[in-house]
Structure 1
Amino acid sequence: MKCLVINLDRSPDRLAHMRGEFDRIGVAFERVVAVDGYSHPELEQQPQHPIYGRRQLSSSEIACLHSHRACWSILVQNDARYGAIFEDDVVFSANAGRLLADSAWIPAGADIVKLETFFRKTMIHRMRTSAGHGFSLFRLCRFHPGTGGYIISRQTARDLLEATEKINVTADDLVFNPAFSSLPGKTIYQLVPALCAQGQFLSSMAAGLPSLLDSERETKWAASGLAEKRRRATAERFRTEIGRIVEWVVDFCKLRRRTIIPLDSPGPRDQ
């Protein structure tokens, strides 16, 4: 399976990190030069999806989308049905090489397989499909942020290119947020346990691999005035709790469950 790594020219340290990670799991990769938002502030003037309302996407967020678009463009020209895309701050599990070596384990009809965990609660279907080597696949039912690592079909890459030809969204909203209508009817799986995670979430890697998007995103969010938390009345909090109970009952009946996706343990290079 072709593996692509998005990397900024000004981040050679992250490229060195990814070389070490891929060497450790015994898999080859191809570097894709990332679009640098710092060099293209004009990106903020491009049209963005109306769902963001007053929040202005940062140039780095838009550049991130265009970097993923560059990867999708490569994959649609490739003969393979699936390809894997990674950002340059991920850490692989010990068994990552076994799954990235080929795509035979991917279920027929899968459009996207999310390989990473963001260590936040999400929702998956209870029906399990074995991926081998201790991994399982579950249909992803709710937004799970992050585009640090995922597998995408050639057709879905083509669809995403068309969906973002004239409008900007954040990459993870586009790919993994059901609120967006860009992927109607698409089949998205979550790998459990996750095959990778961004270094910012791992204590041993956090200092060396901080998020390059978070600080600018938070600045834009604060400037929009949307970051101010409003104190909710007791009645509103009560309604929220009742709503959560109702959602739990509905999820149970629909065979869905809320969970935090664990990370398969990082370890020595596969044998």
Structure 2
Amino acid sequence: MNLSKPLRAASLFLHSLALRCRVYLPRRQCLAFVPPANPQQTGISQIYVINLDRQPNRWADVLRELACIVDSSGVPLTHRSNRFPATDAQSTQRNLTDIAEIDPFYSLGDQLYVEPQPHAFPDDFDLVRPIRMSEAEIAIAHSHIGVWKAIAQSSAPYALVLEDDVWFARDFSSVLDQAWREMKDADGGAPIFDVLYVSYAEARHGAPKELLSKNVFRPERGLWFLSGYVLSRKVGSIASSASSLPRPDRSMDKSQVPCAGRARPSSPGSQPACRSSFHEFLFNPSSAKHAWCS
């Protein structure tokens, strides 16, 4: 008899029930989010949620989560949330393999750079062997690049990008605010960064990192997933002007992302967030900066 499935179903039901009940708790304030119309404050002023047209329930769930958090002026985050229609690999009429903005190939060496296998020797692998992304992976990458372009055309200095199956850890607001304060202290004013992860996972054998402050670190490698991050408008501008971009995070396939209702919920605020240069973020993950959010 396999008892794992019933227990897992019960656990997911209780988790979902707890999330729904949180709307009755006092709202949490996150000072890192600022009113869009206030140019005197530098912070996160827009939110984009990538959502499939055939998943309206997920959009409603994310709005419920965002309604539990208010910005520095006391306004719920739902007031600056924008739904971004995701590219759907199952229903699109477009040939996803021909999207000029995405290089659909990466090498086994790229994969092993992010997640090394310490018990295997390099000679055991054909490191230059090309691996082709699936159509689902290409569709998700295309959705994220579309959001980057939307941010480039906006007036928001920073925007939070979310996939539609995330939920927020209870300490999200306090942890993000602490990381934001540390970045302000380090930068001598308003934080200066291109990418700030708020939801990701480390590779199986960990992510070597350089600790920059109590809650901020720079990883060398070993980070997967892209279900929640803050992006600067400058990054969106670079993405818009690039003719072809490799996939920024090859683990964005929904079959791999640890999301709510799956193996492990994605919860912005419960794990390290990241800060990096856009060029390095796309092409050299060894030099990205990250903020510790746990």
Unaligned runs of 5+ in 2: 1-43, 71-76, 108-128, 253-273
* Partner of residue 210 from structure 2, selected from 125, 138, 145: 125
Paired positions, count: 187
**1:160-199 equivalence runs, <5 A:** 160-163=239-242, 165-169=243-247, 171-172=249-250, 182-183=282-283, 188-193=288-293
- The CA distance in 1 between the partners of 2:104 and 2:245, in whole Å, is 6
Structure 1 partner of 2:110? none
* Partner of residue 10 from structure 1, selected from 45, 54, 57: 54
**1:46-85 equivalence runs, <5 A:** 46=99, 48-52=103-107, 53-85=129-161
2:194 pairs with 1:111? yes
Cα gap change, 1:123 to 1:186, in 2 (>3 Å):
closer
Q: CA offsets, 1:12-66, max 9 Å, x none?
A: 1211221121112232221111111112361124462553344221111111111
- 8 Å CA contact 1:111–1:187 kept in 2: the answer is no
Counterpart code for 2:90: Y
- The CA distance in 2 between the partners of 1:137 and 1:180, in whole Å, is 17
- 8 Å CA contact 2:152–2:240 kept in 1: the answer is no
- The CA distance in 1 between the partners of 2:64 and 2:161, in whole Å, is 17
Cα gap change, 1:10 to 1:25, in 2 (>3 Å):
same
Unaligned runs of 5+ in 1: 130-135, 194-263, 265-271
Q: How far is 1:91 from its partner?
A: 1.6
Structure 2 partner of 1:96? 172
- The CA distance in 2 between the partners of 1:152 and 1:188, in whole Å, is 13
- Secondary structure of the residue aligned to 1:10 is coil
- 8 Å CA contact 2:202–2:224 kept in 1: the answer is no
- The CA distance in 2 between the partners of 1:147 and 1:160, in whole Å, is 16
Query: Aligned-residue CA RMSD in angstroms?
Result: 3.6
2:66 pairs with 1:19? no
Counterpart code for 2:50: I
- Aligned residues: percent identity? 23
Cα gap change, 1:186 to 1:11, in 2 (>3 Å):
same
- The CA distance in 2 between the partners of 1:30 and 1:51, in whole Å, is 32
- The CA distance in 1 between the partners of 2:207 and 2:106, in whole Å, is 21
Cα gap change, 1:69 to 1:50, in 2 (>3 Å):
closer
* Partner of residue 221 from structure 2, selected from 123, 136, 142: 142
- The CA distance in 2 between the partners of 1:122 and 1:98, in whole Å, is 24
Cα gap change, 1:100 to 1:19, in 2 (>3 Å):
farther
Structure 1 partner of 2:9? none
- The CA distance in 2 between the partners of 1:75 and 1:31, in whole Å, is 13
- The CA distance in 2 between the partners of 1:80 and 1:179, in whole Å, is 20
Cα gap change, 1:185 to 1:19, in 2 (>3 Å):
closer
2:238 pairs with 1:159? yes
Counterpart code for 2:228: G
- The CA distance in 1 between the partners of 2:47 and 2:286, in whole Å, is 22
Relative to the length of structure 2, the TM-score reads 0.53
